[in-house]
Amino acid sequence: MPDVIVNPLSGERITIRSAAGDRSALEWELELAAGGRVPSSHAHPEQEERFTVREGRLRMRVGWRRVTAGPGDTVRVPPGTVHHFANPGSVPARVTVVTRPALDMQDLLQTAAALATEQHAAARRLPRPVDLALFMRDFEREVRAPYLPTALVGAVIRPAAWLARRCGLDARYRRLRGRGGPGGPGGRALPGAGR
User: What's the pLDDT tens digit per position in 9-23?
Assistant: 999 999 999 865 667
Helix (H) / strand (E) element for 67: namely strand 65-69
Q: How confident is the model at residue 187 (pLDDT cuts 50, 70, 90)?
A: very low
At residue 25, the pLDDT reads 94
Is residue 80 within 8 Å of 43, Cβ to Cβ? yes
At residue 22, the pLDDT reads 61
Distance CA 5, CA 100 (A): 19
Q: How confident is the model at residue 129 (pLDDT cuts 50, 70, 90)?
A: very high
At residue 164, the pLDDT reads 95
State the distance between the two ends of the chain, measured CA to CA, in whole angstroms.
37
Q: What value does the mean pLDDT take over residues 12-36?
A: 88
Is residue 37's pLDDT more than 50? Answer: yes
Per CATH, is 3-103 categorized as 2.60.120.10? yes
Is residue 189's pLDDT more than 60? Answer: no
Is residue 29 within 8 Å of 15, Cβ to Cβ? yes
Structure pTM?
0.86
Average pLDDT, the chain: 88
Alpha-helix residue ranges (DSSP H) falling in 9-104: none
Is residue 31's pLDDT more than 80? Answer: yes
Q: Which tens digits make up the pLDDT trace of 103-115?
A: 999 999 999 999 9
At residue 1, the pLDDT reads 52
DSSP annotation of 137 reads H
At residue 116, the pLDDT reads 93
Q: How confident is the model at residue 36 (pLDDT cuts 50, 70, 90)?
A: very high
Distance CA 118, CA 61 (A): 28
DSSP annotation of 89 reads S
Q: Name residue 74's beta-bridge partners.
A: 52
Q: How confident is the model at residue 34 (pLDDT cuts 50, 70, 90)?
A: very high
Per domain, the residue ranges of the chain are: 3-103, 128-187
Is residue 174's pLDDT more than 60? Answer: yes
